[in-house]
Structure 1
Amino acid sequence: MIHLPNLIADLALILGAAAITTLIFKKLKQPLVLGYLIAGILVGPYFDLFPTVREEENIKVWSEIGVIFLLFSLGLEFSFKKLMKVGGSASITAFVEVVVMLALGYGTGQLLGWNTMDSIFLGGVLSISSTTIIIRAFDELGVKGQKFAGLVFGILVVEDLIAIVLLVLLSTLAVSQQFAGTEMLISVVKLVFFLILWFIGGIFFIPTLLKKTKSLMSEETLLVTSLGLCLLMVVLATQVGFSAALGAFIMGSILAETTQAEKIEHLIKSVKDLFGAIFFVSVGMLIDPKMLQMYLGPVILITVITLVGKTLSTTIGAVLSGQPLKSSVQAGMSLAQIGEFSFIIATLGLTLKVTSDFLYPIAVAVSAVTTFTTPYMIKVAEPFYNWLDKRLPEKWKASLSRYSSGAQTISEASDWQIVLKAYITNTVICTVIIVAIGLLSSLYLLPKMNELMDPLWGRIITGIITFLVMMPFLWALAVRQVQTTAFSNLRKQNKYKGPLWLLRIARIGLAVFMIGFMLDRFFSFAIALSVTFVMVVVLVLLSRRIQVFYNRLEDRFFKNFNAREAAEAAAKAAKPDAAVLAPWDAHLASFQVRPEWDGVGKTLEELILREKYGVNIAMIERGERLIPIPPKTERLYPGDRLQVIGTDEQITSFRNYIDMHLPEIKHTRTEVELRRFDVRTGSAVFGKSIRQSGIRELARSMVVGIERGDQRILNPISDTVLEDGDVVWVVGNPKRTAALFRVKGEAPPQTQTA
């Protein structure tokens, strides 16, 4: 009989159980994460009805790999630029929410009589919402295009970054077993140092590597290369004392800035789904039902605190950041759950053996309950706001409206603020790079040189190599001018001449100190002091050449950093009719006709969807056949996919009717587009009604809106006459429609795609 390793048998059991439970949960329209958790309980050591995993340690290794790929995938969606674009509102809201939930979690733990570490980790578990669950709920409810959803996604991005910092701080706290302010500060400084270093180094080298090898990169080699880079950063992060999850996240966020980001994300999805499933099943395996029964009271209490606390803290934070009350309430009720990061934080406490056994299953139970409640919280957010709006005093509502308007006013930064910010950024980046070069030289290069030659000559050669590598960054730190326009404006004003000279002297002094600091690691203090003077002179004499070299380095960095945006801009330039916002928040959504739907077999004229729900059927996909702008006599059949255009409210109303919303499908070729056309005297449609214009019959298109001065007419009747100066929004074939709006002897009419 052939012996089968336990690992393979365990994987077969885990994936088989996961497949069955997820199929059931898919049928029930519930989050797959809950199916994985239940699968873990069924094959775990605390449930005897089914076969049990034999070697839990091996599964823990696979689950660690699952965490790595989950965080790598999250980093690919993260992008440092995305964080910069979320703005102050999302940052303030996320900060308020995390601080409040940390305090509530710690206070709840103390109230329940838990020890300090359990209480602190409970605060960490409750502070981070679930990106996976929210995105899934938004997809199912069709609210991704609404205003508050943008705020929620921004908050999630900031929360993910805060979660990474929390992992580092909680790890430090777990090791020291006490709240030591100095150690925490050192950990934060160390984290910032390595984040800056890894990001700059990654952006400088990795996009160039992918660009140079693009012709050799098949899907297979790109996948292997991406995973190799991910695991390499994981090893590097663990070597310097950080978690593997942090390393995976950093490499994902670096690759997110490359032109290959979307392709890598697509290739990595299957790997992430596989190991992510193993991770969530392993989470379920650690749940002891008896423990949950014993701690049912704390589970209920913590669930209520999560729902109420996260709703209130997020709402208050959003209001403080200047968001309208409606968006704030909707965002608060959307974020009232915990998820995958909470599992990771709870797992960290369990792995480091600093938390009690009951914390982990309690966290998973709370996550399961709040996962169920999330869709309902999102649904009732708007009715709850309407109820609240009716009961708030008018003075409060007026004050909130004024505060929201004032907080969102854009203020122009002064020249002094611009210069100061630029100098601080330049100083921090150059200092980090110089310190990193010095540390690498003293810790790795110097020992190798001492092995190859006399120690004195080893120190001399190492010092020279280190100085040569540092020279561009020492020059940038001491001499380079940043924000030259703002700097010139300040220099013309007498009151700023003193501060500007102080800035210059401080930068030069810091550069001299960095040279001395580097040399002191190789030579005695007296030698280092004298050689420092010589190196400063060399730096001044070679300033122009160093400037040229540094500018080349900087140009390459920014070229790599902006490569993705440049590629997108080039694509838009090649296709100027790229999609932009539709009028009045109208947009396309995709629906599929189910066999049991009562509209099957009826014509569009019989269904009167436009009159009932305000939506228009822009196209019907029937197998390989596309029916753009279907006539009113067209019947709907099972399996048809409808491309429907309407506003958020209209789409929601239609979804409730058809009761089957599928994710939006992106096509490489779009045969139906939403565009605006200007009506001009002399065109074929001027002075004619919509019925007489031939837009439907000749252009296979449909008029969905008209702007006439300050008046907006949505879904105009077919007898509406098109007048000079009207702006007509049309869904259909853009080329045929443009011909009807063109005036003979003139250039093609101006159009705008939506």
Structure 2
Amino acid sequence: MDAGILFVKDLAVVMVVAGVVGRVFQRLGLSVVVGYLLAGILIGPRTLPYQLVEDTERIQILSQVGLVFLIFSIGLGLSFARIQRLGLSVIGATIIGAILVLNICRLFGLMMGWSATQSLFLAGMLMVSSSAIISKVLEELNVAHHRSSQMALGITVLEDVVAIIMLTLLTSLVRVDAAEGATLWKTLGTLSAFVVFLVFMALLILPRLLRYLSRHSTLELRTIVVAACVLLVGYVGVRAGFSAALGAFILGVIIAGTRFRDEIERTFESLRSIFGAVFFVAIGMMLDVKLLANNWWLVLLTTALVLVARPLATSMGLVAMGNSVREAVRAGLSLTPIGEFSFVIAQLGVMSGAVPDSMYAVAVGLSLTTAVIAPVLTRHSESMSHWVERHEPRVIRNWTEFYHDWLEGLAGRRNASLLWQLTSKRILQTALQILFASAMVLFANPVYQWLLRRVGPDWLVPNGTIIVFWTVFGVVFLAPLIAIWRNIDALVMILVEGATRTNPRRARLRPLIQTAIKTVVAVVMSVWLLVLLPFGPSLLWALGIVAGILAFLGAVFWRRFVRWHSRLEIEIRNRIRLAATPATAKGIPESLVEREGWDLKIDEVTLPPQSDYAGKRILDLGLRQRFGCSIVGIDRQGHLIANPAASDALFPGDKLLLLGTETQLAEAEEFLRKTDEVVNPETFEDLTTEMITVPADSPQIGKTLAELNLVNQFGVQVCGIERGQERILIPSGTERVEPGDQLFVLGTHNKIQECRGYFEP
């Protein structure tokens, strides 16, 4: 039979079995991903006595395409705006939790006698939770609105980023066949440079390309071009020494910050579903059922490790970021299900020979056991967190409270520090520019080697290839180099100004200190470039010629380079701002902001809890009449109201998307942030229930509850009345107060005391 026909038949078998088994698992309330894995096991070459799929190699090749589109779709769900909304607490907790899981797995591997590479692969598998299972369990238990559940959902989203990083690092380590510290740090540095370079290039090119395609092509052509970009960037990631998933993920994140996200997400949904199913079925086909049976003890042991390590690491991360122990434990217990990325990491390790085949059994076994145990742990998370809080040693509790107080004080001092405000963004900007420049040099090296193979080293003149190539590259490289030096110059000036502000000889000291620091920085930058450039000692004279040419060009065209860099920097900042703005992330037309000749911007303003305008209609605010700007959207607890009506009311915590000029937005923001002068510090935790006895000579006797209006007067609600042997639950407003009534009231203790005095004669 023709090979093409056989492939069609094999693909049909894969789809049919995946659909049937996936449906069964869906009816059982389990993840369909686990069903796809089981489907792969059933039709795999090691399960049945005869082979249902004849050409498994082609299915494996097709699964790699599925992996790229699967990772791309995950990136589409994680924009810069969403990362920004998650907040520093969730981001920090995710990082701390990942580091703790890594070290716990290294300790576990040491006890098991495993190699460092095996421990790293286990850590990569355990660092990731299943967002699909977690969100489904939280919704079924009706606890998704709890703060601990929101933190758990935020962490499971960010763990996808952790998984991409681990997958990329493990791919690099497998290729160099080493896991030593020096190789790891080198890989981390190269990875950071590659990511920054790819993000900058995508921010500059991709939005323009998508705008052009939206105006001059059909949906079919746009889909083809975007799919080509995804595959091409995945290939670039592989050629750079990393995983194809890295490039696809970054491309997805960039597109998620544009107004084309929804269209592309809908278009690629079918591709993701089909190829994603093929990918997970292909993973199952590689698993031997006998291997799972022979390693049952290892599956149980690693399951116990997951049930301890993941909740412990996540809880400690959340506590370290200032959250209470109770909420941290509840969130940690919700994050036990192992994610889909675990299979990808296990597949990489087994296919490369870095880990034994038993890791496949561990990944599948962990997915099954944690998917079953997760609902039980989440259902009892509240009682378990209360137990942990009650039995927490006093010493640990006191230290935790002291640490949280110190964090609050540190945040206050950091926000109040003028030096921090002046330097923090510039330090981050300089670091990103250094990574971008490093990536330029790293990518130039393979191009240089290719050119050497094509024309030889002595093109035109002896060592002419070296001189010509690196001179041309150096002209392009001067722009980021000048940008780095300008930022460093500004940082040195600010720091020296702050250090010598109170010194009486500051006029003489400042230039001396600035010159000394700049000299040290110049030496460090020279060493940095020498480490990156591919020159040996015998070719240093060629490097000297190139450096002389670049110095001459830099001196002559300094101002032009500065202007070119400034325009490029402004463009990148605008791209990042647009990608991070709620407007583009939520579907508000980005074209309003990008339209040339129109000075329109979209900004987000959150109504404070004590806002003067909470409960009022948009019409009552009169923003357009007062400031000339409009509310084009409202983000209410994650639900977007696009183009709200003038009669829509506003509530505390609403995120208003305002459209207007920069001046109009600033005035409207100041107006909307106005709050009551009296700030109520009480929270839900201060609410309590108490009994109020109505004296026989109370002046309120005979009045109805509606006439007393205790809710508006004191913020106290009458939940019940005990009158002799009779109890009236949730009394109506027509119920009258009689002598000796016991009022069962709800409110804060202070408000209840005020209300008690109201009934006194």
> Which position in structure 1 is the counterpart of 2:146?
146
Distance in structure 1 (CA, Å) of the matches to 2:404 and 2:69: 40
Distance in structure 2 (CA, Å) of the matches to 1:277 and 1:556: 39
Going from structure 1 to structure 2, the CA distance change for 1:115 and 1:710 (only over 3 Å counts) comes to same
- Mapping 1:674-713, distance limit 5 Å: 675=650, 708=712, 711=715
Unaligned runs of 5+ in 2: 593-599, 611-635, 653-708, 720-729, 735-761
Letter in 1 for 2:554: L
Letter in 2 for 1:477: I
- Mapping 1:86-105, distance limit 5 Å: 86-105=86-105
> Which position in structure 2 is the counterpart of 1:43?
43
**CA deviation vs aligned residue, 1:381-430 (integer Å, no higher than 9, x gap):** 11212333344466755654453344345242645555376244265146
- Does 2:7 match 1:7? yes
Distance in structure 2 (CA, Å) of the matches to 1:530 and 1:579: 55
> Which position in structure 2 is the counterpart of 1:560?
575
8 Å CA contact retained: 2:223, 2:267: yes
> Which position in structure 2 is the counterpart of 1:204?
204
> Which position in structure 2 is the counterpart of 1:17?
17
Letter in 2 for 1:422: R
1:212 Cα deviation after fit? 3.2
SS in 1 for 2:47: coil
**CA deviation vs aligned residue, 1:29-54 (integer Å, no higher than 9, x gap):** 32212222222222223433897322
- Does 2:419 match 1:419? no
1:562 Cα deviation after fit? 1.7
Distance in structure 1 (CA, Å) of the matches to 2:386 and 2:517: 54
SS in 1 for 2:356: coil
- Mapping 1:270-419, distance limit 5 Å: 270-392=270-392, 397=397, 400-409=400-409, 410=411, 411-412=413-414, 414-417=417-420, 418-419=422-423
1:466 Cα deviation after fit? 2.5
8 Å CA contact retained: 2:433, 2:480: no
SS in 2 for 1:562: helix
Distance in structure 1 (CA, Å) of the matches to 2:529 and 2:49: 69
> Which position in structure 2 is the counterpart of 1:266?
266
Distance in structure 2 (CA, Å) of the matches to 1:429 and 1:117: 27
Distance in structure 2 (CA, Å) of the matches to 1:397 and 1:296: 39
More off after superposition, 490-499 vs 126-135: 490-499
- Mapping 1:13-92, distance limit 5 Å: 13-48=13-48, 52-79=52-79, 82-83=82-83, 86-92=86-92
8 Å CA contact retained: 1:477, 1:507: no
8 Å CA contact retained: 1:474, 1:511: no
Distance in structure 2 (CA, Å) of the matches to 1:2 and 1:346: 34
1:161 Cα deviation after fit? 3.0
More off after superposition, 173-182 vs 570-579: 570-579
> Which position in structure 2 is the counterpart of 1:472?
479
1:462 Cα deviation after fit? 3.6
Going from structure 1 to structure 2, the CA distance change for 1:38 and 1:470 (only over 3 Å counts) comes to closer
8 Å CA contact retained: 1:433, 1:473: no
> Which position in structure 1 is the counterpart of 2:518?
504
Report the identity percentage.
25
SS in 1 for 2:380: helix
Q: How many residues get paired? A: 617
Q: CA RMSD in A?
A: 4.4
8 Å CA contact retained: 2:467, 2:542: no
1:372 Cα deviation after fit? 1.6
Distance in structure 1 (CA, Å) of the matches to 2:300 and 2:605: 47
**CA deviation vs aligned residue, 1:701-747 (integer Å, no higher than 9, x gap):** xxxx9994873879999969xxxxxxxxxxxxxxxxxxxxxxxxxxx
Letter in 2 for 1:199: V
Which of the residues 558, 561, 584 maps onto 1:543? Answer: 558
8 Å CA contact retained: 2:6, 2:54: yes
8 Å CA contact retained: 1:18, 1:277: yes
Going from structure 1 to structure 2, the CA distance change for 1:507 and 1:277 (only over 3 Å counts) comes to same
1:369 Cα deviation after fit? 0.9
8 Å CA contact retained: 1:449, 1:462: no
**CA deviation vs aligned residue, 1:492-535 (integer Å, no higher than 9, x gap):** 72376655444433455566778888796999534543553453
Distance in structure 1 (CA, Å) of the matches to 2:639 and 2:486: 53
> Which position in structure 2 is the counterpart of 1:435?
441
1:553 Cα deviation after fit? 0.9
More off after superposition, 7-16 vs 405-414: 405-414
1:552 Cα deviation after fit? 1.0
> Which position in structure 2 is the counterpart of 1:630?
none
1:325 Cα deviation after fit? 1.1
1:231 Cα deviation after fit? 0.6
Going from structure 1 to structure 2, the CA distance change for 1:507 and 1:267 (only over 3 Å counts) comes to farther
**CA deviation vs aligned residue, 1:192-247 (integer Å, no higher than 9, x gap):** 22122212222122222223333125432332222111110111111122122223
TM normalised by structure 1 equals 0.71
Unaligned runs of 5+ in 1: 585-646, 649-663, 678-704, 721-754
**CA deviation vs aligned residue, 1:312-356 (integer Å, no higher than 9, x gap):** 222222222221112201111011121211111110111102222
**CA deviation vs aligned residue, 1:1-59 (integer Å, no higher than 9, x gap):** 99872221121112111212222233333221222222222222343389732222122
1:124 Cα deviation after fit? 3.0
SS in 2 for 1:5: helix
More off after superposition, 333-342 vs 287-296: 287-296
Distance in structure 2 (CA, Å) of the matches to 1:361 and 1:267: 35
TM normalised by structure 2 equals 0.70
Letter in 2 for 1:208: R
SS in 2 for 1:213: helix
> Which position in structure 2 is the counterpart of 1:249?
249
